[in-house]
A and B are shown apart, each in its own frame.
Chain A
């Protein structure tokens, strides 16, 4: 029996955005020079003006037989996800996004200020992770959880996004659409399974 959909909205103040993570995306593995810190400050301010944080989750039944995972609404074969969800008989499935405003800023900055565009893009990637952590924490208040697992990792193909987004009604609820090659728009969006138990 498939559960209903719960919608969440939030602000960046709800999330902890890891600057270290943003710097890692930029290839910075040591302490950041001061001018980079200033650029990250600016990225944080800018994202506040254009982000619209939304997420949506549902609770799916899970039956595992062999390498096949059956979530009711869809099924797939995956050793990696099986390992992640081993022993679970239910899983949360969520999608989270910063919204399309961040994409618009990235487009504009990439034409006007390429250096800052790279920093802003990295900051947005870190921010959507932060937003996922917030969503995850909401789920953790309800149940004991496994680590989250996203399509595209290990042997779970990106093409699964089609079923995942359909199960979450993500186009209507969050405005997330899929390209023919299974990229999500807004690009700063994440989907994930979070096993229960």
Chain B
């Protein structure tokens, strides 16, 4: 019986703490415990043997920190760790078939991007290196443990899947609120790891058994796989300068018995526990009946913080991150301006979307590199599950790799080519598949035909080991203008598929009205009809008031809106009668000066008012005149006030945001050639993660109408150079906050000068000085954000 079978067949016991035992034997705090594998093999062997004799089945190697970042001699350290286990097993007098040797994998000690500086793929590579050595040793399983970040957990699991065939058990470290350090709750972790195909999962470390009980209960409630719980011996406390734990072996084992009764399949310990804790746990739980938790049938997707069930209230999938028919988004994607995508995402989240569709397919862009970047950027600030939408397998795979959670995958269809490329990816990375009812002969024109194709996809997915619950069928809808029955057949299909196949459905709702007038009325009516027929997820624009009105009404009338709260809140903010755009107001007085209305709005930092003023003024004023006579003078005025200390940075930024909002409105009306703006590339240099200063410069430059391409923080020199080449930007702004990253700034400047001599470079940041800027060959230095604007004006005198 291998460990995967053992975990499902009977209660399994993991061993307990290692560090505490080594410290008792003389390991000094701060020393790397893994070094003892080579220097004190006998002590390790005795500890392993003691756990075997206590009744533990899964015995973990002393390799928590055995990775290239922490440990110099990886190969011999891991081999020695295995040998220590193997010798103990050879000496074990009990049933050796009941002993399984686990290669222990702990966290890297690095925070992954975007919160930290460590790249996801680098983490996969570092874990992979250790796991390759382990795979060669003869371990029975990989135990990934004490992970407090879901993203790093995924990196470790992928590394294990790609470097060995061993069963993978994962235990995460939660805080008392039941969240990982980086925010994921238990259902999100379970959804993600079950999607990735691990063997068993659960929690360890951080908490004692008392605090971990609620977490264990959550696991049992939402996991289909065997649950493993390895708590600390209570919470640490300092007594006479020594750390001790507050739960003894008797109390620990009593509490572990409660865990077993809850339905936890595997029990063990972590910090502070000893063979005695495990022995008593075994004694008290051995005779309890064992039952595997039942397989859960709910369809669940997850972001990096939370899981979302597709049952119950119908879900909205925001469709706006898709360049089809959207010129602004197309331009943003071509310029790799991912900030635009993020703002679209935030707007949809604020409007009520539950999931965001992400599609960056556009002629002339490299989707395989852009899609994963877009996913990474969106999930750095938006905690909604994403729907990865592409027809390119390479782009899909790379996006699935970097996605942090369990995504929707849009899409697979019933054609062989699609089934053969998409299903293996869905199996490897996990996710809920959108199944389009398109076969080799197109879309059937009956509900029964579409249902049959859905069944075919479900069957094929099952052959790949993909559960039916992870499939959502999209029966598609053609334009009713080209086929009178288009909508009716789709509605019938939704109901038939739901009732006969027992799966969830989704639908892009707005196709139906193609080529007809007043499309929003049709879309809203069709949405309500589709929901009434059982639609689980509507792919639509949540910023459309008409669609949202239909959705809110449906939810309320269907009993999904307690006390009509959501409907009332929506109705109050979206009155039926459109509010007329305000007529250009009279000049207003501010601080003793009389200002034109748009100028006033910018000076006061009123974003919405600035945009609406610009809109109404465009009726009577030429776009360029608005910029030159109202927006720029406003910015100059606030710039002066800022320099004179009469207003402060936040107010300056508010004005800049208002000016940008007005600019967006006005520039849409500018002739193409006139609308072409000077490009400025901004980056915080490699190694530096402090980018607030750079962000401020960006906002100000944008407010002056420059086209700012923001590469973000911790940007390698070559990436800056490449981006300058790709975008044709002739001015690059670099920031660095700390002395430790000045070298990296110098390297970036010299690389730029070497490869793109015509590009100008301006630098800034807390530790920079004019003389250092001169020394590294920068063309300009600014001590603050207004100075950066002055530099830009100098480099682009025509503007």
Contact = CB atoms under 8 A, between A and B. Distances in A.
Interface of A: 1-7, 23, 26-30, 32-33, 35-36, 39, 52, 59, 73-74, 99-101, 103-104, 106-108, 110-119, 121, 158, 163, 166-167, 169, 171-172, 175, 177-183, 185-187
A114 B696 CA distance: 7
Contact of B692 (A7, A28, A117): A117
Interface string B694-732: 011011000000000000001000000000000000000
B648 A36 contact: yes
A4 B242 contact: yes
Contact of A181 (B241, B346, B648, B738): B738
Contact of A171 (B107, B654, B689): B107
A36 B650 contact: yes
A104 B183 contact: yes
A116 B116 contact: no
Contact of A118 (B182, B239, B647, B692): B692
Nearest to B642: A27
A139 to B, nearest CB: 13
Nearest to B181: A175
Contacts of B650: 26, 36, 39, 115-116, 118-119
A111 B381 contact: yes
B115 A183 contact: no
A169 B183 CA distance: 21
B676 interface: no
B382 interface: yes
Nearest to B741: A181
| Residue among A29, A99, A103, A112 having the largest count of chain B Cβ atoms under 10 Å | A112
Interface of B: 28-30, 107, 109-111, 114-118, 146, 148, 175, 177, 181-183, 205, 235-239, 241-244, 339, 342-343, 346, 380-382, 605, 645, 647-651, 653-654, 656-657, 687-692, 695-696, 698-699, 714, 738, 740-741, 744
7 cross-chain pairs, A with B, having the tightest CB-CB distances, nearest first:
A115-B653, A4-B243, A181-B687, A4-B238, A108-B381, A175-B181, A185-B111
Contacts of A166: 30
Nearest to A26: B649
Contact of B381 (A2, A99, A107, A158): A107
Contacts of A163: 30
Contacts of A180: 117, 687
Contacts of A179: 110-111, 116-118, 687, 689, 714
14 contacts: A7-B235, A27-B648, A35-B654, A107-B381, A111-B342, A115-B654, A115-B656, A117-B695, A172-B146, A179-B110, A179-B111, A181-B117, A181-B741, A183-B688
Nearest to A7: B236
A27 B692 contact: no
Contact of B740 (A7, A27, A114, A181): A181
A7 to B, nearest CB: 7
Contact of B114 (A99, A107, A118): A107
B647 to A, nearest CB: 8
A26 B181 contact: no
A23 B651 CA distance: 12
Contacts of B28: 2, 73
Contacts of B690: 183, 187
B171 to A, nearest CB: 14
B740 A158 contact: yes
A73 B27 CA distance: 12
| Residue among A4, A7, A27, A73 having the largest count of chain B Cβ atoms under 10 Å | A4
Contacts of A115: 605, 650-651, 653-654, 656-657, 699
Contacts of A99: 181
A178 B110 CA distance: 6
B243 A5 contact: yes
B689 A183 contact: yes
Contact of A158 (B29, B238, B343, B738): B738
Nearest to A39: B650
A111 B689 contact: no
A83 to B, nearest CB: 21
B89 to A, nearest CB: 29
B116 A181 contact: no
A158 B741 CA distance: 12
B521 to A, nearest CB: 32
A110 B692 contact: yes
Nearest to B652: A115
A7 B246 CA distance: 14
Contacts of A2: 28-29, 241
B478 to A, nearest CB: 37
B236 A108 contact: no
A73 B696 contact: no
